[in-house]
Amino acid sequence: MKRKRHTPEEINKKLREAATQLAGGQSVEDVCKKLEVSPPTYHRWKEQ
């Protein structure tokens, strides 16, 4: 499977989407599946 490199704009958009979904009570795993990223990737982006 080929890796996809996300642009900074795409990362910001996905992090905003994740924040709204997490505020709605969804789990991190469910949010990551919808955003098509792995949980470690999500946490790495959040730290940056």
- Mean pLDDT for back-to-back runs of 10 residues, the chain (48 residues): 84 95 94 93 93
Report which residue type is found at 16: R
Q: Supply the pLDDT for residue 1.
A: 58
Cα dihedral 19, 26, 34, 7 in deg (nearest 10): 20
Residues 26 and 31: their CA atoms lie apart, in Å, by 7
In contact, 18 and 31? CB cutoff 8 Å: yes
Q: Supply the pLDDT for residue 46.
A: 93
Q: Supply the pLDDT for residue 37.
A: 93
Total number of residues shown for the chain = 48
Q: Supply the pLDDT for residue 3.
A: 77
Q: Supply the pLDDT for residue 45.
A: 94
